[in-house]
Amino acid sequence: MKQEPKVRNQGTETKAGIVGMPPLAVIRKLNEERATIFDLDEPIVKKNMEDALPFLPRVYCAVLRTVVLNAMNLDLDLIYIDVGAGKCDSALHVAAVLRHYLDIPVIETRNSDTHPFGTVVCRSKMDLLKKMELITGGVTKTKPPNSTLPACIPTAGFWGVPPRDFSLLTVFPKTTHIYGWTRCMENKTPADIKLESHYNSDIPTVFFAQSFCAKTALAKLLADKHPHGLFVDADVTAGSSAKAKIQAFLELSGVSV
């Protein structure tokens, strides 16, 4: 049965939801149309995660449960959902769920963009949380967030996707370099598995993935291969044990936080 959106869009401006990183051509088109873009991967709607239960199992990626929660409660006109190598197989199935319950176009995309935009923010000296916000904020734009930030010498590494709960990032030092899919995000090449698999073996690195995400396999593999890596997964919120684990790992590895 179709789900009636909670608030109907009364205006004329197009409200577009995006999931993952749709191709640059899609973002460019939405920007030219002056559409308001909502990054559905991020917690926008302040609702209990349990409200996603009618649509998705409880044991499912928290980012995709967030997507569904947003999509069901925002007054959107259409959704572009990236599926395949640039996102994950689960997004493909979530696209089917959204299409079933919503009465708006749910358009699947497969981002195979290869033009590199650079990874300046990933290598800069700044609070990790702030860096992550800059990178995820860039998903609605067709230009890199900032090209003037100087690179710093890294003392720690964060590999992975932007976590559902950004508070996980507060325990890292400013000199943390970002790797994994987040680096691909800034580079605007989300399907670049070679870039995603890249890490710096000279610095202690936390390999993070959302619990129940297929990327946990890659995160664990790379953490095992890395001479000084720690695999961490977290579900909806970053619990105190996940943060304490990272904190202890950095401290015991001699990283000044």
Q: Which is nearer to other proteins, 95 or 250 (CB)?
A: 250
Q: Is 247 in the site for other proteins (CB under 8 A)?
A: yes
For 25-36, letters b (16+ CB in 10 Å) and e give ebbeebeeeebe
Among residues 140, 228, 236, 237, the one that binds other proteins under rule CB under 8 A? 228
Question: What CA–CA distance (Å, rounded) separates 257 from 251?
Answer: 8
Question: What CA–CA distance (Å, rounded) separates 45 from 135?
Answer: 20
Q: Is 220 in the site for other proteins (CB under 8 A)?
A: no
In the numeric block, the tokens 């209990």 are attached to 48
Among residues 10, 12, 148, 240, the one that binds other proteins under rule CB under 8 A? 240
Q: Which range in 57-65, 68-76, 106-114, 248-256 contacts other proteins by CB under 8 A?
A: 248-256
Q: Is 253 in the site for other proteins (CB under 8 A)?
A: yes
Neighbouring-strand partners of residue 231: 207
254: left (phi over 0), alpha (psi -120 to 50) or beta: left
Q: Is 230 in the site for other proteins (CB under 8 A)?
A: yes
Question: What CA–CA distance (Å, rounded) separates 52 from 54?
Answer: 6
Q: Which is nearer to other proteins, 174 or 228 (CB)?
A: 228
Neighbours of 58 (CB within 10 A): 11
Among residues 54, 105, 118, 239, the one that binds other proteins under rule CB under 8 A? 239
Q: Is 248 in the site for other proteins (CB under 8 A)?
A: yes
- In whole angstroms, the minimum distance from the beta carbon of 254 to other proteins comes to 9
Binding-site ranges for other proteins (CB under 8 A)? 228, 230, 239-241, 244-245, 247-249, 251-253
